Amino acid sequence: MKKDNGTHRIRKGILAVFMNLILIIFSLSCIFPMIWMLYSSLKEKRAFNADIVGLPKNPTLINYIRILSNSDYHLGESMFNSVRTTTLSIILIVLFSFIVGYILARVHFKGNRALYVMFLMGMLIPIHSLLVPIYVVFKNCGISDRWYTLLLPYVSFGLPMGIFLVEGYVKTIPVSLEEAAAIDGSSFSNTLWRIILPITKPILVTVAIIQIFSCWNEFSFALVLIKNVSLQTVPLALTQFKGQFASDYPKQMAAMLITMSPIVILYFAFSKQIIEGMVAGAVKG
């Protein structure tokens, strides 16, 4: 019996080592591209072409200096445009998702389910199939190539998922909580903003996380609807570093790291809230 227990422990230990080894390899495969991009940005173009994978023999910040000192790249302006567009989009998406999701979950009226299904249909439509119609509509209405142009498609296509998540989350909140607040004399608006809103914070954080990455990295609508260089976003600015016949990859990687920095800083600053929001959203959403 003792021998069997010892054999079982050995097999269990070997299995644990094997599983951990697989997870380590998988983690390294995810981390290495970022590390490679970081040290490759410290190379000059000639050194990179001579040895793509190798570490830099003479690390230099020349790529970062050239990018930040050259006003032709408009990288700072593009980052400002992306921050402004992403921030306003997230505020509107979270606000409207909360209000509409709550109403669909709590207020029973004729056409409630039809309206809910209509919003869900927005998750099924291929977004990029609407590029041409949206471009035509925006051009005819004279609202293309404006600082607020991208807010309209970003908010419109971000709402269906936000409403879906919030509506499902609100249904898990006991109605008795609102009834008790009403008995205590709380108005509808007070109950909505001071009681329900704090409770739905985890799912709203989840919605914000999903949409932040979506808005920051969005390329197709920005390419089609924005022509003015001073209004371009980060994904459009990065296309400047790719030539027709050759590309300066170290400089391109340096630009990518610069534009990624706000999102990375945001993640590390709010990592605890992000993880809590994702877990709560997955469990209750």
- State the DSSP string of 218-269: --HHHHHH---GGG--HHHHHGGGB-SS-B-HHHHHHHHHHHHHHHHHHHHH
Q: What does the buried/exposed string (b/e) look like for 123-155 if buried means 16 or more CB atoms within 10 Å of the residue's CB?
A: eeeeeeeebeebeeebeeeeebeeeebbbbbbb
The Cα 191–Cα 199 span in angstroms is 11
Please report, to the nearest 10 degrees, the dihedral formed by the alpha carbons of residues 226, 228, 233, 234 taken in order. 120
Encode pLDDT of 259-272 as tens digits: 888 888 877 777 77
Residue with structure tokens 């790249």? Answer: 73
Number of Cβ within a 10 Å radius of residue 94: 20
Going residue by residue through the chain, which has 285 residues, state the pLDDT in tens, using 9 for 90 and above.
Answer: 545 666 767 778 788 888 889 988 888 888 888 888 888 888 888 888 888 888 888 888 888 888 888 777 778 888 899 999 999 999 999 999 999 999 998 888 888 888 888 888 888 888 888 888 999 999 999 898 899 999 999 999 999 999 988 988 898 888 888 888 888 888 888 888 988 999 998 889 888 888 888 899 888 899 999 988 888 898 888 887 776 556 778 888 888 888 888 888 877 777 776 666 656 544 444
Asked if 264 and 184 touch (Cβ cutoff 8 Å), the reply is: no
The Cα 159–Cα 162 span in angstroms is 5
Nearest residue to 75 via CA among 213, 241, 227:
241
Please report, to the nearest 10 degrees, the dihedral formed by the alpha carbons of residues 91, 224, 131, 113 taken in order. 10
Residues 6+ apart with CB under 8 A from 76: 68
Residues 6+ apart with CB under 8 A from 75: 67, 68, 237, 255, 258, 259
Token readout for 279 is 């877990």
Token readout for 169 is 């989350």
CATH topology of domain 65-284: MetI-like fold (1.10.3720)
For the chain, what's the residue count? 285
The region that residue 141 occupies, defined by phi over 0 for left and psi between -120 and 50 for alpha, beta otherwise, is alpha
What pTM value is reported for the model?
0.81
What is the number of H-type helices and E-type strands within the chain? Answer: 15, 0
Q: What does the buried/exposed string (b/e) look like for 184-204 if buried means 16 or more CB atoms within 10 Å of the residue's CB?
A: eeeeeeebbeebbeeebebbb
pLDDT of residue 245: 55
Whole-number CA gyration radius for the chain: 25
